[in-house]
Amino acid sequence: MSFLLPKLSSKKAVDQAIKSTAEKVLVLRFGRDNDPVCLQLDDILSKTSSDLSKMATIYLVDVDQTPVYTHYFDISYIPSTVFFFNGQHMKVDYGY
């Protein structure tokens, strides 16, 4: 289902999405298009994207095409989801 959600394929595109998404939560799914777990998450995100369209914008980011962000956010598990609001990274504690 990854073909249903918009993709960001460069650092510049990710930077632009972070800067330009205002008054909504920006959801960035970091992963790979051919990973089965990523495809499951993409299916869930695509099914909810229309319901969340007034409060969230969802993009898919390939970890291999944006290694700067992969290192910056210390992404070690695929898929990983990163949230922003008004250009600010929202740190979420899932209760390690």
CATH of the domain at 6: 3.40.30.10
Instruction: Write out the chain's pLDDT in tens, 96 residues.
Output: 456 899 999 999 999 999 999 999 999 999 998 999 999 999 999 999 999 999 999 999 999 999 999 898 888 899 999 999 999 988 776 665
Contact yes or no for 45/58 (Cβ under 8 A) = yes
- Decide if 56 is inside a domain: yes
> Residue type at 7?
K
DSSP state of 92: -
Mean pLDDT of the chain: 90
Q: Can you tell me the distance from the alpha carbon of 88 to that of 49, in angstroms, rounded to the nearest whole number? A: 21
- Decide if 16 is inside a domain: yes
Contact yes or no for 85/42 (Cβ under 8 A) = no
What pTM value is reported for the model?
A: 0.88
- Decide if 96 is inside a domain: no
**43-57 pLDDT, tens digit each:** 999 999 999 999 999
> Which domain covers residue 81, as residue numbers?
2-90
Contact yes or no for 61/14 (Cβ under 8 A) = yes
Domain total in the chain: 1
- Decide if 30 is inside a domain: yes
